[in-house]
Amino acid sequence: MQLKPLFTFLTALTKHNDRPWFQERKPTYDQLRKQFEEDAEFWFQELQKLDPGVAGSDGRKSIFRIYRDVRFSNNKDPYKTHFSAYFTASGKDIETPGYYVQIGPNGNTLIGGGFYQPDKTQLAAIRQEIDYSAEELKAILNAPDFRRYFDTMSGDKLKKSPAAYSVDHPEIELLKHKSFTATHQMADEAVLSHADFRAHVAEVFAAMVPFCQFLRGAIAK
């Protein structure tokens, strides 16, 4: 996709986040959205080769709408100021591990994935898998391909140890996690100057495959 026109549009949307402004420029948005759909389909096809757990037939179904849900938010701006997509085994179902890309100005571009806020049963299963197979997870997190883009596993953590695990458990810091994610943040200059951003996203996704497969395997048992 043409990133400079996208950043120009989204930067202006940040300043004029209202329906009249957006509707006047809807043709521009539609054109940019179509380009993003083409990229999403490319990433989806690449992921199907890399991770058999990602199935389906249409990467466009993985794209999030630009319209914000403002019902429970103090921020009533009607539009998101980024384009984003989440690739899983069932479209953009956020209740399963997957691969996420977000493109936007002001440092809002990131490539990541994993599992954000699993439910109680899923969380227990992942912690149990970490308890049983911590060395496998640590090998994934320390692999050269993973470390090329991610410092380590991120995500919200408990301040204290989970009730089912001792405070002196050797893997207590991993077990404290409530979300299990990896995030590759990119500055605007790096995005706009990249020779092949679409290929870069695919490379980052490839580095996350073992991580996502570990999480998916944990909740499938």
Mean pLDDT in residue range 79-101: 87
**Per-residue pLDDT band at 185 (split at 50, 70, 90):** very high
> What is the SS3 string spanning the chain?
CCHHHHHHHHHHHHHCCCHHHHHHCHHHHHHHHHHHHHHHHHHHHHHHHHCCCCCCCCHHHHECCCECCCCCCCCCCCECCCEEEEEECCECCCCCCEEEEEECCCCCEEEEEEECCCCHHHHHHHHHHHHHHHHHHHHHHHCHHHHCCCCCCECCECCCCCCCCCCCCCCHHHHCECCEEEEEEECHHHHHCCCCHHHHHHHHHHHHHHHHHHHHHHHHC
Which residue range(s) make up the domain with 79? 3-220
pLDDT of residue 105 exceeding 80, the answer is: yes
- Of 12-26, 51-65, 117-131, least confident by mean pLDDT is 51-65
For residue 56, pLDDT over 80 is answered with no
pTM for the full model? 0.94
List pLDDT tens digits, range 186-221: 999 999 999 999 999 999 999 999 999 999 999 997
Q: What is the mean pLDDT of residues 135-145?
A: 98
Query: Residue 62 above 70 pLDDT?
Result: yes
| CATH classification at residue 9 | 3.30.930
Provide the pLDDT for residue 91.
62
Q: How confident is the model at residue 188, as a pLDDT?
A: 98
**Number of structural domains found in the chain:** 1
